[in-house]
Amino acid sequence: MVRTHRSHSIKFSALVIGWVVTGISVISGIAVAQKSPPPNYFGSNPSASDIRAKLVSAGQRYHIPPHILFGIAYQESGWRQFGSDGRTINNPEPDGRVGVGIMQMTVFPSVSDYKRLCTDIDYNIDRGASLLIDKWNATPVIGDGVYTNGREKLENWFYAMWAYNGFSWVNNPNYNSSSYERKVLNLIASCPNGQWQNCNITAPANADIGTGYPNNIRYTPSPVHVDANFDGIIDSSVDGDIGRNSSERQHFLDCFYRNGGRSVIGNPINDAHWWGRSFPVVVQDFRGGSGGDGAIIDDEGTSHTTGFWLHGAIWNKYASFGGPDSPLHRPRSDETPAARSRQGTDGKFNRFDNGASIYWSSKWGAFATYGNIAKIYETAGGTGANNDYGFPVSDVIYWYDNWYYQWFEGPTYGDWRYIIVWGN
């Protein structure tokens, strides 16, 4: 099915006669012949965190909840202005128009701003956000019935998301369970690139939408999700305490939802606060979840884009070592399953700066490995079954004169276990 969106000129649906919104009119027609290929332009994509900031900025300019733009941009292009070959992502359509860039703005290559749409990601995002507002104004109402109000409620954007791809029966969920707007909602809920707070936007009931031209829906589907500041953070009294006092609260929210929310992480017992001197981090402590006592830790003010969760025995070990002022410094992963050892032991680990780790197993407990001993251990495969080391069974121990050693579980020889010794 040829996409029929994003132009204010007359649109056509290939092989389908039906209603399509252009502004507020309803028209029908047939596709015409394919034109010559569009010109190529080249460039490189910004980082995902930079793209997120650009989408948030556009949302604030146009009073669009950034989550809506996050999902549309990911559905259209996977958050890419340029493909792996450096060319602008473009998708020719049979009538000669081309879907261009991150927001897949569909225009004829002859338009005066075609090159800018291809090369300027900020401009492409701005045009996409402007178009979405046009769709908001052109489609039936969801919510309180006032077009200029209710924009902060993500549920009210269902029809506008639909219309971004063509307000045709093809995207009516009564006929198509994989309609465009449903795909966008699924992306917003799953957050495939880890760059936003997962949000399960509530869709209206199919019966309320209707099977003809969609109905006005004079209520906001619930539960309602609100972004009052249009900053990409869903406002909720339930989650308002997560990351409170951090200048990078989104990092705490992302980590919180990624690791299971309150049922797993529990409730915060304090506000986010600074910890450490040599390698300071921002930390918030949690209690009451199935994961036991723990903390979300964020390397605030750096290029890192998320916090990490430490909990249980690994968290206790990190805290007892001195946290960010220990040889481990700062966390660099959530808790991760470790490879089963040759001795048949299963466990978990968290990574820290410079290849350091804390490993835990129910058999041995939690132990830290770092420095050159960690490098030797990880180069050999860590806990994996391709070596005899297995899990650490001690922390790194100072011997004498800058010599250190650490014991591991791998096969015993009398009173001796596997050991790594390192010194200068």
φ, ψ of residue 283 to 5 degrees: the values are: -130, 145
For the chain, count helices (H), then strands (E): 11, 17
Structural contact between residues 225 and 155, judged by C-beta atoms closer than 8 angstroms: yes
pLDDT (tens digit, 9 = 90+) per residue, 60-70? 999 999 999 99
Please provide the average confidence, as pLDDT, over all residues in the chain.
86
Q: Which three-class secondary structure state does DSSP give residue 24?
A: coil
- pTM of the predicted model over 0.75: no
pLDDT score at 422 = 77
In the chain, CATH 1.10.530 covers 37-209
Sheet holding 397-398, edge to edge: 397-398, 403-413, 416-423
pLDDT (tens digit, 9 = 90+) per residue, 347-361? 999 999 999 999 999
Query: CATH assignment of 37-209?
Result: 1.10.530
Q: Which three-class secondary structure state does DSSP give residue 15?
A: coil
Q: What is the DSSP string of 388-418?
A: S--SBSS--EE-STTEEEEEEEEEEETTEEE
Measured at the alpha carbon of residue 102, what is the angle toward residues 98 and 104, in degrees to the nearest 5?
30
φ, ψ of residue 282 to 5 degrees: the values are: -105, 130
Per-residue buried b or exposed e for 250-272, using 16+ beta carbons within 10 Å of the residue's own CB: bbbbbbbbbbeebebbbebeeeb
Over 60: is that where the pLDDT of 321 sits? yes
pLDDT (tens digit, 9 = 90+) per residue, 238-256? 466 788 888 888 889 889 8
pLDDT (tens digit, 9 = 90+) per residue, 66-89? 999 999 999 999 999 999 999 999
What is the C-alpha to C-alpha distance for residues 325 and 346, in angstroms, rounded to an integer? 29
